[in-house]
Amino acid sequence: MSSPIRVALNLVYLTPGETGGMEVYARELLPRLAAVDGIHPVAIVNTVAAQDDAAPWSTVVESVVAPVDARDRRQWVWGEQRHVPRLATELGADLIHSLASTGPGRLAGGPPRVTTVHDLHYAVAPEAHFGLRGLGMRVLVPAAVRASRRIVADSHATKADVVAHIGTAAGRIDVVHLATSAPDRATATPEVDLRRRLGLGDRPVLLSMSAKRPHKNVEGLIDALAGIPPERRPLLVVPGYPTEHDAVLRRRAVARNVQDDVRLPGWLSTADVEGLWACCAAHVFPSFYEGFGLPVLEALERGVPSACADRASMPEVAGDAALLFDPGDTGAITAAIERLLGDEALRSGLRERGLAQAGRFSWERSAAETARSYERALGAA
């Protein structure tokens, strides 16, 4: 029997509670990879993540600590270029798998590379990253891709972007879809408590699990909300950690005279988020660009009637289980919302199709397909 593939997982980027979908990816993938025959994962974490005693890199897989505080972007970059290759070599790893679109460059040394690319925001939607982060991604993502034997892309749409913008051969890219965790409905905040605390009253809730960034097109969603007559207008709730774009959204709501119809709460607990999923009438995701679009799949998994943009990866994730609209057409977004809220037969059909579509995605499948990418990378040696 051949020896297991020893994979050093580059998690230097991950600061618990601050890394969004890439944190979900790591937390869900690690235990599934550990369960794949022939794969021995070892996590390389930063000093902050190492303090999370309940994380899978502390409880399920072996881990080592790089002397890096990833809240400082410079330390993150230095850690990937200097410490990750060094630690992977000391661990006797066969491969380095970087999970967050960046990783050691060609000159950094160490074992062969596999890199997961979640999206190419810096090229397709540059407004997604504030400040110097966007400039850095323009250098770091292509460098990691070119240094890797295999690329794992979240979607066929992201694969096409990597081919088009970085010039990578399509044959070097493996599409491995993400998945979602089963909803933890048992811990959901009761609806009556959530409505009282967030000031939701008794109106229908239109939920949008969108980060507050320009490319997410929440401004367009606010415009679309204003197009619904007040007597049947839902209450729009857009939770998520604050960004400098919050002020733009609040001004937009005032300008469209819907400030009383919009709630922009900051970070919410898992229990509160599950409570919102449980009480909302529908979910709308108007983003201009997504490498995968986890909120779309999360809505389908919960049987929530949904509509999303018809661009990038979102139709790939939604299939026939959500209404699709042009995110640049405010009237189309308005019409989709009105259909979701007003057509019970449509809502019932979307629920049924959503659950079936969500069943096509699983973290176990993601782990198995990631393992095959490792095998291809080593076969190219």
Same domain, 244 and 149: no
CATH number of the domain that 220 lies in? 3.40.50.2000
Structure tokens at 55: 């994380």
Taking a C-beta distance cutoff of 8 angstroms, is the pair 103, 10 a contact?
A: yes
pLDDT tens-digit series, residues 254-270:
999 999 999 999 889 88
Same domain, 159 and 26: yes
Same domain, 150 and 192: no
Is pLDDT of 319 > 90?
Answer: yes
How many residues comprise the chain? 381
Residue 133's pLDDT is 58
State phi, psi for 183 to the nearest 5 degrees. -60, 135
Least confident of 39-43, 55-59, 210-214: 210-214
What percentage of residues in the chain have a pLDDT greater than 70? 97
152 beta partners: 116, 174
Same domain, 69 and 215: no
Same domain, 189 and 117: no
- Tell me the CB-side half-sphere exposure of residue 159, using CA atoms within 13 A: 17
Same domain, 162 and 246: no
**CA–CA gap between residue 190 and residue 202 (Å, rounded):** 14
Residue 127's pLDDT is 63
How many distinct structural domains can be found in the chain? Answer: 2
**CA–CA gap between residue 259 and residue 249 (Å, rounded):** 10
Structure tokens at 350: 């979307």
Is pLDDT of 181 > 60?
Answer: yes
What range defines the domain where residue 201 resides? 185-358
* 132, amino acid identity: L
**CA–CA gap between residue 290 and residue 125 (Å, rounded):** 9
Same domain, 215 and 346: yes
**CA–CA gap between residue 31 and residue 157 (Å, rounded):** 27
Same domain, 16 and 157: yes
Instruction: For residue 86, give Cα distances in angstroms to 67, 109, 141.
Output: 12, 8, 20
The pLDDT mean for the chain works out to 94
Same domain, 344 and 368: no
Residue 214's pLDDT is 93
**CA–CA gap between residue 78 and residue 18 (Å, rounded):** 19
Is pLDDT of 236 > 90?
Answer: yes
Instruction: For residue 68, give Cα distances in angstroms to 53, 62, 132, 275.
Output: 18, 18, 19, 36
**CA–CA gap between residue 141 and residue 274 (Å, rounded):** 33
Same domain, 278 and 250: yes
Residue 1's pLDDT is 47
pLDDT tens-digit series, residues 96-145:
999 999 999 999 999 999 999 999 988 887 765 555 455 688 999 999 99
Residue 87's pLDDT is 98
Same domain, 260 and 118: no
Taking a C-beta distance cutoff of 8 angstroms, is the pair 298, 317 a contact?
A: no
Is pLDDT of 381 > 80?
Answer: no
Same domain, 298 and 373: no
